[in-house]
Amino acid sequence: MVAATNTTSLSALARTLVQQGKLIEQEAEAIQSQANSSAVSFVSQLILSRKMTALDVAQFASHTFGFPLLDLSALDIEHIPDGLLPVKLMQERRVLGLYKRGTRLFVAMSDPTNAQALDEIKFQTSMLVDPVVVEDDKLAKLVEKAGESASDKLDELVGEDVDMDMLEAEGEGGAAAQDESGAGDVDDAPVVKYLQKVLLDAINSGVSDIHFEPFEKFYRIRYRLDGVLYEVAKPPLAIKDKIASRIKVISKLDISEKRIPQDGRMKLVLSKARAIDFRVSTLPTLWGEKIVMRILDPTSAQLGVDALGYEPAQKEALLHAVARPYGMVLVTGPTGSGKTVSLYTCLNILNLPGTNISTAEDPAEINLPGVNQVNVNEKAGLTFAAALRAFLRQDPDVIMVGEIRDLETADISIKAAQTGHMVLSTLHTNDAPTTLTRLMNMGVAPFNIASSVILITAQRLARRLCSHCKKPIDIPKEALLRAGFKEEDLDGTWQPYGHVGCETCKNTGYKGRVGIYQVMPITDEISRIIMKNGTAIDIADQAKIEGVKDLRQSGLLKVKQGLTSLEEVEAVTNE
């Protein structure tokens, strides 16, 4: 093993303090490390360490970087214009909007070198940002007061009747609807802005799901980011019914029905060129309706196979399989493992003018132009099996079935694969070998499986280490061997990394996710095992002989590459 080295990434201010002789490098690194661990800024930790006072830091930053210095004790919070910056941004980045002049926004901050904060302010306001240096402790108090003031104003106005015209129902013209109703300035309503902000923050942060959860004494909003739920807000309890009702109206749900779960869709129009769909699910609970919104960003299907995390051999096997004229390719894994994105990536590759593609989904999550997408409707009799039968009369080349749930759907899919069609689908199984035995347990004849299935890929999503703050760590050899590494792997040519946490990754240590895959082509030998009613263990043993990496081995390879941590791989894969 290569010995760990100290690679604490110093902020620009910390580096300048070292260069100017205000701190020695070891002190700066220690303070930066403590700041990362405590999820606070370098300036706050520097002041806590008593190496410098808040005034000393502000004067140094102003003089060194040439930004104006302002004494916040002389500033009345009531005289600061409302709405210059979102409250959440002010609290997270510890910044305060002071005033704007033309296209320039003047912002109070204790660290004017914080590029992430400056970029985020510029992105969210679409204005040029001019930092004004202030003392960190005084800034913290004013930011807290600004947050309380905004919360009080929201509390006072939640009883007003509001609308959400920015959220456009599918198939309806939001602007036209607004003009006809005469609600021209409804966008000024605080609840409207609050909900829009929640949705926009979620989109900008790469969130996959938003949870609106009512309880007896409070109401909370949580985001699922990189597979983990984080609480982001506790808005006033009084707005829970208005938020639920408006979301239901725009999602074409029955606003009067609060006793049973409902499912719908809604759309957030960001610009003429971009709109984000949301899949909406309501659930009656003791204290009101819980709403979960799945963000369906069509750009995720256009990432390309290289961005998904397949190893070169796995990618080659997958592309070779989907390029075949007929056969079945199955993607397996638990809910939230990225199966849908993998399928849509394959469809995107196959989506050519000369190819007729039809999909049956429950529901269609991503709109893919050029692909005939059908939502199954069990109540109306449009099941996966019924849709598949209809597809076969529509001269298809490629068929995608959202999920094989029963024998009827499996039988029709397999017959389609045997009669000259490429069929893509998903199953909920733990790994690739158990997929074949699952089909047998459903009642599919072994010879049908062997003659139709050409490749199975099982997958998981592991959180990707933040490239800005990950650090080398020492892991005992015994722990590495227990995790699945072999003696020959521990040759000292690679270094495991662990998570730290910084502003870029919101102090989680992880940013984004990377796929872990088991890609198993169905070879002649595996087909023979299937024909003999072999078990999943028999199939797995043969796949191992043929060089197929299981999920744990693929995960450990990501650890060697420094993409994720060992603990993350152990959490998402079975040994």
d(Cα 383, Cα 348) in Å, to the nearest integer? 24
Residue 395 Ramachandran class (φ > 0 left, ψ -120 to 50 alpha, else beta): left
CA dihedral 224, 228, 231, 233 (to 10 degrees): -30
DSSP H/E element including 292: strand 288-296
Pairing mode, strands 209-214 and 288-296: antiparallel
d(Cα 117, Cα 92) in Å, to the nearest integer? 9
Helix and strand tally (H, E) in the chain?
A: 21, 19
SS3 labels along 145-212:
HHHHHHHHHHHHHCCCCCCCCCEECCCCCHHHHHHHHCCCCHHHCHHHHHHHHHHHHHHHCCCCEEEE
For 352, phi then psi, to 5°, come to: -120, 160
The number of beta carbons lying within 10 Å of the beta carbon of residue 148 is 12
- Torsion 131-136-138-144 (CA) sign: positive
DSSP 307: G
- Token pair belonging to 390: 């209809």
Q: For the chain, what's the residue count?
A: 575
- pLDDT, one tens digit for every residue, the chain (575 residues): 444 434 457 888 888 898 888 888 888 888 888 888 777 888 888 888 888 898 999 999 888 888 898 888 877 666 677 667 877 788 888 888 888 888 888 899 999 988 888 888 887 777 888 899 999 988 888 887 776 655 554 444 443 333 334 434 333 443 333 333 333 333 336 667 778 888 888 888 888 899 999 999 999 999 998 888 988 888 888 888 888 888 888 888 888 888 999 988 888 777 666 778 888 999 999 999 999 999 887 666 556 677 788 899 999 999 999 999 999 999 998 887 888 888 888 888 898 889 999 999 887 777 788 899 998 888 888 888 889 999 989 999 999 998 888 898 899 999 999 988 999 999 988 899 999 989 998 999 999 999 999 999 999 999 999 888 899 998 898 989 998 898 888 888 889 999 888 877 878 888 888 899 999 999 999 999 999 988 999 999 999 999 999 999 999 999 999 999 999 999 888 75
Burial class of residue 309, CB neighbours in 10 A (0-12, 13-18, 19+): buried
Contact in structure between 371 and 351 (CB atoms under 8 Å): yes
Per the omega criterion (within 30 degrees of 0), is the bond before 81 cis? no
Q: Which pLDDT score, from 0 to 100, does residue 421 have? A: 93
- Torsion 88-92-94-99 (CA) sign: negative
For 544, phi then psi, to 5°, come to: -65, -40
d(Cα 473, Cα 129) in Å, to the nearest integer? 38
361 Cβ contact partners less than 8 Å away, ≥ 6 residues apart: 373, 374, 375, 376, 400, 402
Q: Which pLDDT score, from 0 to 100, does residue 159 have? A: 37
Helix-strand-coil percent breakdown of the chain, rounded to 5? 40, 20, 35
Q: Which pLDDT score, from 0 to 100, does residue 220 have? A: 93
d(Cα 358, Cα 174) in Å, to the nearest integer? 30
CA dihedral 488, 489, 493, 499 (to 10 degrees): -160
For 319, phi then psi, to 5°, come to: -65, -35
d(Cα 330, Cα 203) in Å, to the nearest integer? 30
Q: Which pLDDT score, from 0 to 100, does residue 150 have? A: 53
Query: DSSP states of 332-396 as a string?
Result: E-STTSSHHHHHHHHHHHH--TT--EEEEESS--S--TTSEEEE-BTTTTB-HHHHHHHHTTS--
Side by side, which strands form the sheet with 128-133? 95-101, 104-109, 128-133
d(Cα 396, Cα 81) in Å, to the nearest integer? 60
The number of beta carbons lying within 10 Å of the beta carbon of residue 274 is 12
Token match 């298809």: residue? 396
Angle at CA of residue 104, ends 100 and 108, nearest 5°? 65
113 Cβ contact partners less than 8 Å away, ≥ 6 residues apart: 11, 12, 13, 16, 61, 65
